Structure 1
Amino acid sequence: MASEQWFVGPLPLGPGETPPPDDLEPGAQACGKPSWSTPPAIPGDPPEPEAEDVQEQLQEAPAASTPSPEPLGPGPGPAAPRLALDTMFSPITEQLRYLLKKAEDFQSYLLYSRDSVQKEQLAKAMPTFLQMCEPYFLYLEAAARSMPPIYGALQELIRKGLLEISQQLTLRLEQLVLMYASFGFVSLEDTDPLSISCFFCGRFSISPSHEVSIFRYCAPAAYTASRFPRYLYKKMRWSLETMPEPGGRGQDSHVDYYFLCYRDTWEDTGKSPANSCPQIQKLWSIGRWVPLGPAEDDIYSWILCPQPPGDYQQLLTIGFEEPSHTLATDLLVQILTGQAGPARPPSAAGPAAWAAPGS
């Protein structure tokens, strides 16, 4: 497991200053270890490089490994599967610890470095760090959700462990990006092509011709630039790619977009949040993007349009409590496979097993 550092050591302290704590900044929630596995401690880190090499070393750092565990079957007793499971998860949890350590380094040097040049270097390296996590997310989500399952009798236990890791890393990255945004080093504006409004959290297949990609918004974003429908905000996005069937002629790939959104119900009443019940401020749902324009054959309209307008086809009402990253994706899969209410995938090329009553 690679353990090279991307940052310099602690800066000299000024008169009356105290060294930064070893733990995270108070108020920042630490990410605990997965409950089903306790990875061994990572040895001490080697000497750290100079500050000007931060971005170069980040680009040269090894990408998140994607281990390929062998399919497991039930053993002779409960101890044997548990031992095999812990052995299989060891490189996965070590990679998690490595990425969380890098995220902690980003946070520490943002909070305690007095060198503005170094902070700017870290801000430029942030998108590269998010890209470095993408192969790891790809492995976690594909191994946990892709069909058909490949782990036999241990599928559910493995799925739970992998998704727990995915959830943990997603929340840590979201927290880190929000902190950098609060310092003004990154933008969260959804219409800014250079912003980090959302980041990639994995991809998996639900059929031989359908793949789902997951994206997480660091901060709630208005559903469209014109805020229509009113008071609707995005928190997650899924891209459903429908690929041509083998041997199919004249078929092109097609992408549909689904969102986890909430609606500020108190805004509909015209009352302020202070005069409203906090339990009914946010009503969460999953819906599909329905494009309203510009015309597909008018390239100039697309160039001049800051953000294409779209309607929101609500498919599932969740409730007043925000679902976790993992649960929201589980619900979307149920919608796409016809297991959660009257929803039909919009692509006509979907498999017959997806058929559900029309909405």
Structure 2
Amino acid sequence: MTDFEVVEVQPNSPERHAFGGPKEDVSETEESLSLAVVTLAPPCGDHTGCSCDCEACNCQETRWMERNLQSTELQLQFLMSKADYLHDCLVDGQGHLEREALAAAVPSFLYTCQPFFNHLESTSTVSQHTPLPFDIYARRVQLLDFSQQLCDRLEQLVLTYASYNALCLDETKPNSVSHFCIGQSQLGPLRVTTFRYCTPTPYLARVDTGLYKRMRWNVERLRDEQQTEEESEAEIVGDTVYYFLCYEDIPNAHAEVSGDNQDASNVVRMWSIGQWVQVTPLTEDIYGWITCEVPQADYHRLLFLGSEEPSSCSATDYLQQLLLPHKTTE
């Protein structure tokens, strides 16, 4: 048996639409953007029943992590080079693709990156709950850094296309690319799907709440008997719960204000993680949703993070820590 399994994500495969992506056919020129996802198998299988020497088992897992790290870094370089290619085609205007084809290729490329993000997310989730030797933990942290690098590069790619009016970032528009998925993981009976907003986006589309969202997590509860390898087919129990990373500008009570002088020093930008709490409509009746043009919701703050914006990986770590008590008590 080989150490890894290669799964090729085709441009029109079900995996590509798993996160609500467009289902229409894309240009044939996008086929070159398909990704071979390498998932390495742990050397000892289930360590809970492992009777071998712990030191030997740790050595095997260390070697597995080294191979995993090398293959993952190659995948990262491949995806980063594709992002650079799409960027250069637009900016330099020397690519063989037309402007419309380039604009269509970017959303397709974002979906192509999702299996890679999923692999990194699932790997980093294990490290939070399983005691590991330092060298193995350090390698898992490096995988998280890969996720952050790709997330930053994709965000810059989308922003560049938006600056050339090739893509729309307005969340209220049907064809906008306001956000993209950066991973899905299993946390006990919970399935967490993470999205990154390319620019700070108003919390509500039609009402100025002073809140701007940068990340969203869709948290779904699955049936307990479902196994991790079946999570893509697992039955969802109950409604999806939405969490957001948001910021708001709070007046600085210690700022010295003279006359009409208003500048950035007069406010403090505070970051927090909160939950979407539905206000309108307060009904499951389909007619209530039809008559409601735009759903409204409050923002229930759960964790204050201070004035510095956390990285996407750090914010997801905070969210997972918030969810852990619910996993054990519900």
TM bin, normalised by shorter chain, reads 0.7 to 0.9
Contact kept, 8 Å, 1:244 with 1:253, in 2: the verdict is no
Counterpart for residue 45 of structure 1: none
2:34 to 62, 69, 84: 62
Aligned equivalents of 1:166, 1:69: Cα separation in 2: 20
Aligned equivalents of 1:64, 1:174: Cα separation in 2: 22
Q: Deviations over 1:56-84 (max 9, x none)?
A: 132364334132242479767x9987665
2:218 to 218, 235, 239: 239
Aligned equivalents of 1:273, 1:84: Cα separation in 2: 60
Q: Which amino acid aligns with 1:99?
A: L
- Please state how far the C-alpha of 1:148 moved relative to its aligned partner: 8.7
What RMSD over aligned residues (CA atoms) do the two structures have, in Å? 3.5
Gap runs ≥5 in structure 1 = 2-53, 339-344, 346-350
- Please state how far the C-alpha of 1:99 moved relative to its aligned partner: 0.3
Change (3 A) 1:71 1:326: farther
- Please state how far the C-alpha of 1:162 moved relative to its aligned partner: 1.5
Aligned equivalents of 1:149, 1:312: Cα separation in 2: 29
1:257 to 239, 242, 248: 242
Query: Is 1:336 matched up with 2:320?
Result: no
Q: Which amino acid aligns with 1:160?
A: V
Change (3 A) 1:267 1:182: farther
Aligned equivalents of 2:127, 2:94: Cα separation in 1: 50
- Please state how far the C-alpha of 1:116 moved relative to its aligned partner: 10
Query: Is 1:159 matched up with 2:140?
Result: yes
Q: Deviations over 1:8-46 (max 9, x none)?
A: xxxxxxxxxxxxxxxxxxxxxxxxxxxxxxxxxxxxxxx
Contact kept, 8 Å, 1:283 with 1:318, in 2: the verdict is yes
Contact kept, 8 Å, 1:266 with 1:273, in 2: the verdict is no
List aligned pairs for 1:181-192, cutoff 5 A. Answer: 181-192=162-173
- Please state how far the C-alpha of 1:143 moved relative to its aligned partner: 1.7
Gap runs ≥5 in structure 2 = 1-5, 7-25, 48-53, 227-235
List aligned pairs for 1:57-206, cutoff 5 A. Answer: 57-59=29-31, 61-71=33-43, 85-113=65-93, 118-146=98-126, 152-153=132-133, 155-206=136-187
Contact kept, 8 Å, 2:65 with 2:136, in 1: the verdict is no
Contact kept, 8 Å, 2:40 with 2:68, in 1: the verdict is no
Contact kept, 8 Å, 2:218 with 2:243, in 1: the verdict is yes
Q: Which amino acid aligns with 2:274?
A: G
Aligned equivalents of 1:333, 1:246: Cα separation in 2: 21
SS of residue paired to 1:235: strand
SS of residue paired to 1:285: strand
Counterpart for residue 14 of structure 2: none
Q: Which amino acid aligns with 2:202?
A: A
List aligned pairs for 1:10-25, cutoff 5 A. Answer: none
- Please state how far the C-alpha of 1:211 moved relative to its aligned partner: 1.1
Counterpart for residue 294 of structure 2: 307
Change (3 A) 1:118 1:152: same
Comparing 142-151 with 304-313, greater Cα deviation is found at 142-151
Q: Deviations over 1:166-196 (max 9, x none)?
A: 1110010011001111111111111223211
Q: Which amino acid aligns with 1:328?
A: A
Change (3 A) 1:127 1:112: same
Q: Percent identity?
A: 34
Aligned equivalents of 1:236, 1:122: Cα separation in 2: 26
Counterpart for residue 221 of structure 1: 201
Q: Which amino acid aligns with 1:94?
A: L
More helix by share: 2
Contact kept, 8 Å, 1:336 with 1:354, in 2: the verdict is no
Aligned residues: 285
More strand by share: 2
